[in-house]
């Protein structure tokens, strides 16, 4: 179990580093950085597929695609859903939207609880009902203060649930399907790179030759650690450790110089309390489940 905890924490830290890493890659903008992340991340992800023994599962996925054409369409849709999130993740820190995106990641576990209730008919226990109520207060304040929840926060909170639900419907293993999604995003990534004067920027900034390959390694390693942790931890504990990432993203946002607007505490504090309530609920479920694997 200790190995799983270390892997989960490492993944969260690497995602936070990746969030800040976009700043180091300037003058490249968010979309070209996203393009490089896909193009350079695919070889690194391939290495992890082989290292984690998922090569056979990847071949099995390819055979399924050949037998089931609709699976290919489903993977294409899921690739674009996750691609939008990855692009926003690299774009936000460069355009003053890092705090908004971190808020979306704080909201995501709560939206997933609601999605489970609405889509799959899962019943909410008292802890979850309290968490949803607290989160609703925070979101309500954000809407009251600014007229609406920011589009960046909404894209994260509302964009991930359809992705996870589609993955569940496709019944595909995580790492092989992630590799396939990355491959399907390569044409779009190459188009983004071709539309920018990348060669000129690389010539003017020689340090990018060393920083860009590390971008792919960071991205693939963070994803591999996350997936490896999911295999080694009980479900409840894995969910609890997942709350570390948005907290680190919030810290990175402050490190980048962003500050909460006056009165924003009335948005964040209820949402943080809601996550605390979910954490208590998750801890109780983990104790009840014992050592049941993910």
User: Is the confidence at residue 177, as pLDDT, over 50?
Assistant: yes
Residue 247 lies in a domain: yes
- Rounded distance, CA 282 to CA 278, Å? 6
Lowest mean pLDDT among 83-92, 161-170, 197-206: 197-206
- Structural domain of 183: 2-289
- Distance, in Å, from the CA atom of 117 to the CA atom of 120, rounded to the nearest integer, reads 6
Q: Which stretch, 92-96, 131-135, 262-266, has highest mean pLDDT? A: 92-96
In a domain, 106, yes or no: yes
Distance, CA of 273 to CA of 277 (rounded, Å): 6
Whether residue 206 is contained in a domain is answered as yes
72 close to 229: Cβ distance less than 8 angstroms: no
In a domain, 69, yes or no: yes
Q: Provide the mean pLDDT of the chain.
A: 85
Q: How far does the chain reach from its first CA to its final CA, in angstroms?
A: 12
CB 53 within 8 A of CB 288: no
pLDDT at residue 290, rounded to an integer? 58
In a domain, 294, yes or no: no
The pTM for the full model equals 0.85
Residues 34, 85: Cα–Cα separation, whole Å: 10
In angstroms, the CA 97 to CA 146 distance is: 15
pLDDT-derived band at 293 (thresholds 50, 70, 90) equals very low
What digits encode the pLDDT tens for the residues 144-161? 776 667 899 999 989 988
pLDDT digits (tens, 9 = 90+) for 61-93: 999 999 998 999 999 999 999 999 999 999 999
- The answer to whether residue 60 sits within a structural domain is yes
Contact indicator for 99, 250 with CB cutoff of 8 Å: yes
**Total count of domains within the chain:** 1
Q: Assign 231 to helix, strand or coil.
A: helix
Which range among 33-42, 53-62, 119-128 shows the weakest confidence by mean pLDDT?
Answer: 119-128
């Amino acid at each position: 179990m200790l190995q799983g905890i270390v892997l989960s924490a490492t993944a969260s830290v690497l995602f936070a580093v990746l969030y800040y890493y976009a700043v180091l890659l300037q003058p490249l903008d968010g979309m070209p950085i996203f393009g490089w992340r896909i193009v350079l991340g695919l070889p690194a992800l391939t290495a992890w597929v082989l290292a984690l023994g998922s090569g056979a599962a990847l071949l099995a996925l390819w055979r399924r695609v050949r037998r089931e054409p609709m699976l290919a369409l489903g993977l294409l849709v899921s690739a674009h859903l996750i691609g939008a999130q990855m692009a926003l993740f690299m774009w936000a820190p460069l355009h003053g939207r890092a705090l908004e995106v971190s808020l979306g990641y704080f909201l995501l576990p709560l939206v997933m609880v609601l999605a489970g209730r609405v889509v799959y008919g899962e019943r909410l226990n008292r802890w979850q009902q309290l968490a949803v109520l607290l989160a609703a207060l925070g979101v309500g304040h954000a809407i009251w203060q600014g007229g609406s929840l920011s589009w960046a926060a909404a894209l994260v909170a509302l964009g991930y649930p359809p992705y996870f639900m589609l993955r569940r419907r496709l019944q595909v293993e995580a790492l092989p399907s992630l590799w396939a999604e990355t491959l399907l995003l390569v044409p779009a990534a190459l188009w983004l790179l071709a539309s920018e004067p990348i060669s000129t920027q690389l010539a003017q900034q020689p340090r990018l030759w060393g920083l860009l390959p590390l971008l792919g390694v960071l991205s693939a390693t963070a994803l591999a650690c996350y997936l490896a942790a999911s295999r080694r931890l009980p479900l409840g504990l894995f969910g609890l450790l997942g709350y570390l990432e948005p907290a680190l993203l919030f810290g990175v946002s402050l490190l980048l110089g962003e500050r909460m607007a006056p009165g924003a505490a009335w948005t964040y504090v209820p949402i943080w309390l809601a996550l605390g309530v979910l954490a208590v609920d998750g801890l109780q479920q983990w104790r009840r489940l014992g050592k049941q694997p993910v």
